[in-house]
Structure 1
Amino acid sequence: MRRIRSLNSISKRCYAARSASLTEPLVRKTSATTTFTPQNIQISKLPNGLVIASQENYSPMSSVGLFVKAGSRHETVDSPGVAHVLRLAANLTTKGASAFKICRGVEALGGSLSVTSTRETTVYTAECLRDDLHSLMEYFSLVTTAQEFRPWELDELTSRVKIDKAMAQQSPQIGVLEKLHEAAYKNALSHSLYCPDFMVGHVSPDQMHAFVQNNFTTGRMALVGVGVNHSVLRQLGEGLSSCTGLGAPVAQAVYRGGEARIHNRDDLVHLLVASEGAASGSAAANAFSVLQHVLGAGPHVKRGSNITSKLSQGIAKATSEPFDATALTASYSDSGLFGVYTISQAGAAGEVIKAAIAQISDVAEGNVADADVERAKNQVKVEYLMSLEDTAGLLQELGAQALMTGTYQAPEAVLQSLDTVTPEDVIKAAKSFLDGKKTMAASGLLVNTPFVDEL
């Protein structure tokens, strides 16, 4: 006979007394919520020269970035490609933890560590839950300032370097941009973002250590954070075991102009013609940015085309062949580039690029309406403000300004500086392009592509 279950094991919900009828509406009691107002961006400088910048927005996620003036332009003549290998070596064994321990430790925290590099900077980024920031920063400090560069681990990176280069070479856009910088400058900014073929597998630990010692100094770093209290970030900055001082001197970029041609059997010709622009943060750089959008900086509608831009409309009158054209600007700490980038069939490459340059000449002659300048300024403003909407964009902008100037210019001030750009400034920028020494980079079947001195 089955045993009867004891009453003690029966849930109270089964025999609870029936309550009285509900005569009043049931109101859920909620505790008072606390509203956190994001703080203004704070910037300070440690006695060792490290710049600290942060914004406390009370997000449950904390993002921290270490910005270092250690891009490819800082490579020496005898160690090209070191910056590329350094970026790929970010997950190798350090003096305080093995590569396996770092990987497992970061995964256990649910965080992430990543590194990116440009011609001027190397950026290490860490993201995790706010409560785990101190634990993650222990690994972050090892990865950024305690590299070991064991010879056998560097040898194992060779395949990754080759894959990285191969993926870049498959993109004609990257190819012409790299060749444009190589032809445009004598030094510094002419260095490629990718390790040259003759250095693949031959970058030594001594070269890596020398590059880090010369560039990873507190005077060339900025530690920035979003979703981090400023005092906490200062403590984390004091824990970085970097060398003090300004590091090795940085060579001034020297613009020279020139030409580079990549011959292959691709029927689409990628062609980029540029002249020297303006340094980042200058008033002239704002004028070039507005000129870029006057001419056409790409489609502004998702999956849209660029047929309404001044470049596209002008080129369409010169040829019936399909094409794509956009203006390009790149600003660095001591120089810049401005030009036009076209993609067309091999037979129409000459017509397309000459028609594109003719549109810049048209602006230089004063044929630009005030309404077009205002529209272009609004587009620049919108692109800038939209880049600050997510944490990654804000962290990038905050770090770039803190590293280059040691200060932060609020968005309102940036918008005001754009408002000061006049049609005369835009015309002057267009004339500067026409009068300046040209640089050209082309890729594809170049049988009908003119040389730079023929433009």
Structure 2
Amino acid sequence: MRGIRSLNHLPKRCYAAARRSEALTVPLAGIKPSSATPLPPQNVQVSKLPNGLVVASLENYSPTASVGVFVRAGSRHETVENQGVSHVLRLAANLTSKGASAFKLCRGMEALGGSLSVTSSRETMVYTADCLRDNLGTLLEHLVNVTAAQEFRPWEVSDLTPRVKIDKALAQQCPQIGVIEKLHEAAYKNALSNSLYCPDYMVDHVSSDMLQSFVKDNFTTGRMALVGLGVDHSVLRQVAEGLLSERSGAGAPVAKALYRGGELRVQNNEALVHALIASEGGVTGSAEANAFTVLQRVLGAGPHVKRGSNITSKLSQGIAKATAQPFDATAFNASYSDSGLFGVYTISQADSAGEVIKAAIAQVSGVAEGTVSEADITRAKNQVKADYLMSLESSETLLEEIGAQVLATAAYQLPDSVLQAIDAVTQDDVVKAAKKFVDGKKTMASSGHLTNTPFVDEV
């Protein structure tokens, strides 16, 4: 029956709980204990080569290997002339390169039992490949072809247009994505204002020459990091010194993000109003960014029970008290290398949008006035630490964490140091962060039936 779990899937702790007569460490009769010496735990090794490329690895003795190439080449590095090029480049990862055709790449990854994926943000693009560690050499060859030997044949690039349109259509169906995109567009004059998606007027106009130029300017060793899990550090260094050395250089200069504040409204007939109000937040890696992270948990960053409501959140409690109705509200926090955004995100019925937004902002104002307790700060810091440590349990997020750190600072901070930085956040730090939001120049993005939605200068 589908509703009854198989005995093979019962938790192991059920068997452990039933065994009360003797310690679990006692070997079973007739079975000799293994004499193999346990492998010593390894730390993350980081090297910076003379050409600027950063190499990091962690030997975790896993039967599988994961390798990622991290590049500072997100949408913020686009110019007015090549808007949307990073979106197309993300979709072009499986195209023909100098070392392999698209067909050979696909069949080669299948033969390895591996996978290749590409993700991008406003600041970085990440190419990740996984396979059995016995096939690491072939995997690295494919990964280098994808990241350092692109060809961008015109007929293959033109075939990407339907995929670009599908990506945009799927994003437009999600109001949250649309509001966050509009928030960045309104908040910044340049760089971080660029969308993660290709603008409508550039669809089918991003050429192979644009892609080659963007790769030449940004895919350089001074802006790349090669990271591996379950990989020997010397192997990665050889790849970095050899195959990736063709991309030597510092790359084109990067414009500093300029925060300006503003508002963008998308009027439609949707019954629910999505509104996001933010001020400039903290820079990634700074003490101020840690304070904003704790403030986010103090206010509420989402439900902690699957399919449950966020009833313990200060935002949800404040809105329920002001409107006598439950509405969805969470704190929004995004940090970048030279700026950040912090604010409140609300979802409400169109008729109640104004009350909900003002009630949410009132909760942040309350924290800025010092109403937050030490118990609230302790609870929030525990949530931050737990989220961080649990994220490291996954090889995928661990690879992302190592890559993000070494790409930004050419060094890796051990988890104990990260936890100490979180513990160092004080009540005064959180109050100052809340005051920065309250006193700062606001940015607002909203979508839905906005008749009762206030403008940014009215909140």
Give the TM-score range, shorter chain: over 0.9
Secondary structure of the equivalent of 1:429?
helix
**Does 2:328 match 1:345?**
no
**What pairs up with 1:111-126 in 2 under 5 angstroms?**
111-126=114-129
Correspondence for 1:248: 252
Separation in structure 2 between the aligned mates of residue 297 and residue 421 of structure 1, nearest angstrom: 18
Secondary structure of the equivalent of 1:348?
helix
Correspondence for 1:441: 445
Correspondence for 1:45: 48
Separation in structure 2 between the aligned mates of residue 28 and residue 173 of structure 1, nearest angstrom: 57
Q: Is residue 316–residue 326 contact of structure 2 (8 Å, CA) maintained in 1?
A: no
One of 179, 192, 197 as aligned partner of 2:200 = 197
**Does 2:317 match 1:309?**
no
**What pairs up with 1:62-73 in 2 under 5 angstroms?**
62-73=65-76
Q: Is residue 168–residue 198 contact of structure 2 (8 Å, CA) maintained in 1?
A: yes
**Does 2:104 match 1:101?**
yes
Correspondence for 2:364: 360
**Does 2:454 match 1:450?**
yes
One of 260, 263, 279 as aligned partner of 1:275 = 279
Separation in structure 1 between the aligned mates of residue 29 and residue 456 of structure 2, nearest angstrom: 80
Correspondence for 1:417: 421
Q: Is residue 322–residue 344 contact of structure 1 (8 Å, CA) maintained in 2?
A: no
The one-letter code matched in structure 2 to 1:418 is I
Identity of aligned residues (%): 72
Separation in structure 2 between the aligned mates of residue 345 and residue 451 of structure 1, nearest angstrom: 17
Q: What do you get for the CA RMSD once the two structures are aligned?
A: 1.2
Secondary structure of the equivalent of 1:63?
strand
Report which stretch shifted further, 351-360 or 226-235: 226-235
Correspondence for 2:232: 229
Separation in structure 2 between the aligned mates of residue 82 and residue 67 of structure 1, nearest angstrom: 17
Deviations, residues 144-192 of structure 1 (Å, cap 9, x unaligned): 1111001110110000000000000000000000000000000000000
Separation in structure 2 between the aligned mates of residue 203 and residue 131 of structure 1, nearest angstrom: 39
Secondary structure of the equivalent of 1:48?
coil
TM-score, normalised via structure 2 length: 0.92
Secondary structure of the equivalent of 1:389?
coil
The one-letter code matched in structure 2 to 1:250 is V
Separation in structure 2 between the aligned mates of residue 134 and residue 271 of structure 1, nearest angstrom: 49
**Does 2:330 match 1:323?**
no
Secondary structure of the equivalent of 2:265?
strand
The alpha-carbon deviation at position 33 of structure 1 amounts to: 2.6
Q: Is residue 70–residue 120 contact of structure 1 (8 Å, CA) maintained in 2?
A: yes
Secondary structure of the equivalent of 1:372?
helix
**Does 2:177 match 1:174?**
yes
Change (3 A) 1:415 1:30: closer
Separation in structure 1 between the aligned mates of residue 427 and residue 34 of structure 2, nearest angstrom: 57
Correspondence for 1:211: 214
**Does 2:401 match 1:397?**
yes
Deviations, residues 58-117 of structure 1 (Å, cap 9, x unaligned): 100100000000000000110000000000000000111110000001100101111000
Q: Is residue 319–residue 325 contact of structure 2 (8 Å, CA) maintained in 1?
A: no
One of 333, 337, 340 as aligned partner of 2:337 = 333
Correspondence for 2:11: none
Q: Is residue 50–residue 219 contact of structure 1 (8 Å, CA) maintained in 2?
A: yes
The alpha-carbon deviation at position 26 of structure 1 amounts to: 8.6
**Does 2:89 match 1:83?**
no
The alpha-carbon deviation at position 419 of structure 1 amounts to: 1.1
**Does 2:62 match 1:59?**
yes
The alpha-carbon deviation at position 420 of structure 1 amounts to: 1.1
The alpha-carbon deviation at position 38 of structure 1 amounts to: 2.5
Deviations, residues 207-236 of structure 1 (Å, cap 9, x unaligned): 101100000000000000111111111112
Q: Is residue 216–residue 242 contact of structure 1 (8 Å, CA) maintained in 2?
A: no
Change (3 A) 1:60 1:367: same
Correspondence for 2:17: none
Secondary structure of the equivalent of 1:194?
coil
Deviations, residues 24-74 of structure 1 (Å, cap 9, x unaligned): x99356763342123111100112111001110110010000000000000
Correspondence for 1:157: 160
Consecutive unaligned residues in structure 1, runs of 5 or more: 1-24
Correspondence for 1:3: none
Secondary structure of the equivalent of 1:222?
strand
Consecutive unaligned residues in structure 2, runs of 5 or more: 1-27
Correspondence for 1:129: 132
Q: Is residue 277–residue 442 contact of structure 2 (8 Å, CA) maintained in 1?
A: yes
Correspondence for 1:408: 412
TM-score, normalised via structure 1 length: 0.93
Separation in structure 2 between the aligned mates of residue 369 and residue 229 of structure 1, nearest angstrom: 48
Q: Is residue 53–residue 230 contact of structure 1 (8 Å, CA) maintained in 2?
A: yes
